[in-house]
A and B are shown apart, each in its own frame.
Chain A
């Protein structure tokens, strides 16, 4: 039953003036700013990045656009930014996977603190666990019981191998002592599409795409991650286990270089935030 709307604030940071740091003007007049999103279009990270790009275009006076570089657990997109000129015109809008990925390789593909400079966070969100409406369970407890009684019959989608979504699934398997087959996608939009079609049974998703599908009645919500349990969805047991927390939407600039470093970031951050008030309908 949809009966209550709760306002949610989204802040897009705007940049109002060029920095004189190290004698380099920012933004370089006429030079577009590219925000690399390491996922396919349509997912939560992509949607947020596009909202930010739209505001930055207005406030900076140069075109700011999003480019999707999905694949390899955000590594393709991160590499793109790692190799870019460190002039502030190539940014990465990414998720917690950015600091997970180095732990997943014997030889880390990049150093998140030397090869990138953190600019700001965009939002924080917990992953949610959803299931196709036809699944014969409505709670995590029922899911675990079903998985134990039907070994090998469950699968779960993630928005990429090595992403937080995947790690949540693997951690959940270990904590619950169950087996599930992992089905990776290149972003949450693609995975959500297959969840809706019933091609996969479970999905550890971000709340933006997940809740739209839950509200449509075609997907069941089984659990939340543990950052902040939302006020209106506590009918499902919060999945308050280590590893379920997930910070989404962080902006990194290419290169830990002095010419694109603290002064410019200060100017990036010190300007007036633009706030958008959005009504999100939730269950009461």
Chain B
């Protein structure tokens, strides 16, 4: 179902929130690098 190149991930809520916050910060850098703006 996931296919090669992906993995199952079932983080509990607290860890998921930490992961989401880490990704949030990381994506700020990614968005800056791309220069994409939607408004």
Contacts and interface: CB of A to CB of B under 8 A. Distances in A.
A, B: real partners = yes
Interface residues of B, number: 33
Interface in B7-31: 7-13, 16-17, 19-21, 23-24, 27-31
A162 B36 contact: yes
Given A105-B39, A211-B3, A122 B27 contact: no
Interface in A232-284: 232-233, 242-243, 247-250, 262, 265-266, 269, 273, 276, 278, 280, 282
A233 B6 CA distance: 13
Contact of A174 (B7, B24, B33): B33
A104 B23 CA distance: 14
Interface string A115-155: 00111111111101000000000000000000000000000
A67 interface: no
A46 to B, nearest CB: 12
A39 interface: no
A232 B5 CA distance: 9
Nearest to A231: B4
Contacts of A99: 20, 23-24, 27
A166 B6 contact: no
A250 B30 CA distance: 19
Contacts, number: 158
Interface bin, chain A: 35 or more
A167 interface: yes
Given A105-B38, A106-B37, A6 B4 contact: yes
Given A48-B1, A119-B13, A174-B33, A206 B27 contact: no
Contacts of B16: 118-121, 250
B13 A122 contact: no
Interface in A18-76: 44, 47-48, 51, 73
Contact of B11 (A103, A120, A227): A120
Contact of A208 (B1, B29, B30, B37): B1
A196 interface: no
Contacts of B27: 96, 99-100, 103
Contacts of A224: 5
Contacts of B2: 8, 10, 48, 123, 125, 207-208, 278
A44 B2 CA distance: 8
A181 B2 CA distance: 29
Given A113-B17, A166-B36, A208-B2, A247 B8 contact: no
A126 B3 CA distance: 11
Q: Which of B3, B9, B24, B31 gathers the greatest number of chain A CB atoms within 10 Å? A: B3
Given A104-B38, A107-B39, A167-B36, A125 B1 contact: no
A228 interface: yes
Interface of B: 1-13, 16-17, 19-21, 23-24, 27-39
